[in-house]
Amino acid sequence: MTTALVYDPIFLEHLTPSGHPERPQRLEMAIKVIEALGWLERDGLRLLPPRAATVDELAAIHDRTYIQMVEEACHAVAEEQAKSGRKTHFFATDTYVSAKSYEAALKAAGAPLTAIDAIMKGEVQNAYCLVRPPGHHALPDEAMGFCLFNNVAVAARYAIDSYGLERVMIVDYDVHHGNGVQDIFYEDPRVLYFSTHQAPFYPGTGHSYERGEGAGLGTTINVPLPAKTSFETFEAVFRQVLSPAAERYNPQLILVSAGFDAHWDDPLGDMYLSTAGFLRLTQIIIDLANLLCDGRLVMVQEGGYSLDAMGACVATCVNALLGDDAAVDSLGPAPTPAFRINTDVLIAELRRIHQLTGYRMRNAPKPNIERLRREVKGPSPDEQNS
Ligand SMILES: [Zn+2]
């Protein structure tokens, strides 16, 4: 099995003001952990430099005037930096640009395209795109939530336009709802968008009754969850809502909006997932890719603002993509929540909304006996790494 790690140091040159959570150190930490593990030379892991997305590829999603606005804003910062030394400028709510942001953003959008090409040519099985700025909040004509271009949406359209795919599934486990992705594909049945997110929370969208419209009705699945939701609930949602919905949709490619801000150590999110929890959710997605689309899977970095959790989760996901099931975790288990969600009621309601009541997977993934044996005998997943 070969996994591509798509990364370019240009991503560190998109600068934000001091104190801003979306900072270059996030990716630096991830690379540092992967390097410390000796994985940059690991068998099966291929380091791929991303190409830049072309303006035409971005324009499949974004307005051309908006793309130009981002480019010009970055030029303006470069000019002012030469005069006053100021390195970063406010661009939109919470979102800043620096002299190299446009170049970084083109490659952040281009990284999953590089990955898709390598996968479709059979050169690699799957890929992790370690990019910034992130993308899932970006709208066709508006930056928001630290995002300039909608990387994962550009990737889905590229797979459809360049390879003739008819069904692409995006799984988004970032703690925030990917309002941009939802908007872009709300009426488009060629993309199934599935999101778990903290609610109420930024950006305020992603109610479970938002299910798409017109031809896209039913291809948006939102799972808003209260703060401090633990792995147990996430896992039930992934197994009993995502898995059957994915099987029914039968995607030809799976993209993941990989944000780790639902980690318990994250300073912005307030959810109770541990690194081991992220591993298990990611493994469910990998199992679905193996079952439904020959393992074709591209993970694209979104949020994640605890540097330790970023390092641990990125390394853990890369390890999982390579077929290994150990978590790299220095942070340990999530706190025990003070309340219990009635997961059965939540699942029943989601299955009702999405007409999955009574749906049985024809091809439920075969259980991994070794993994199950460990689960039965060993400590709970959240204790495995304590
Ligand atoms: Zn986020």
pLDDT at 326: 94
Q: Give the angle 54-58-60 at the CA atoms, nearest 5°.
A: 120
Distance (Å) from CA 269 to ligand 1 centroid: 8
Residue tagged active-site, from 62, 89, 137, 354? 137
Distance (Å) from CA 72 to ligand 1 centroid: 26
pLDDT at 372: 59
Distance (Å) from CA 198 to ligand 1 centroid: 10
pLDDT at 366: 64
Average pLDDT over residues 28-35: 98
pLDDT at 116: 98
Burial of 41 (0-12, 13-18, 19+ CB in 10 A): exposed
Distance (Å) from CA 296 to ligand 1 centroid: 24
Phi then psi for 12, rounded to 5 degrees? -80, -10
Gap between the Cα atoms of 5 and 298, Å rounded: 10
Average pLDDT over residues 204-211: 98
Res. 358 pLDDT band, cuts 50 70 90? confident
Buried residues in 330-341 as b, exposed as e (16+ CB within 10 A): ebebbeebeeeb
Q: What is the full DSSP assignment across 310-336?
A: HHHHHHHHHHHHTT------SS-PPPP
Buried residues in 69-100 as b, exposed as e (16+ CB within 10 A): bbbebbeebeeebeeeeebbbebbebbbbbbb
Gap between the Cα atoms of 17 and 282, Å rounded: 32
Confidence check: pLDDT of 211 > 70: yes
Distance (Å) from CA 261 to ligand 1 centroid: 6
Is 137 noted as a catalytic residue in this protein?
yes
| Average pLDDT over the chain, rounded to an integer | 94
Task: From 46, 40, 43, select the one nearest 124 (Cα to Cα).
Answer: 46
Distance (Å) from CA 26 to ligand 1 centroid: 13
- Could you tell me whether strands 126-129 and 297-301 are parallel, antiparallel, or unpaired per DSSP bridges? parallel
Segments in 42-188 forming alpha helices (H)? 55-59, 64-84, 101-120, 151-163, 179-184
Res. 354 pLDDT band, cuts 50 70 90? very high
Q: Is the Cα dihedral 256, 258, 259, 260 positive or negative? A: positive
Distance (Å) from CA 244 to ligand 1 centroid: 25
Gap between the Cα atoms of 62 and 148, Å rounded: 10
Could you give the 3-state DSSP secondary structure of residue 172? strand
Gap between the Cα atoms of 184 and 39, Å rounded: 36
pTM of the model: 0.94
Distance (Å) from CA 357 to ligand 1 centroid: 30
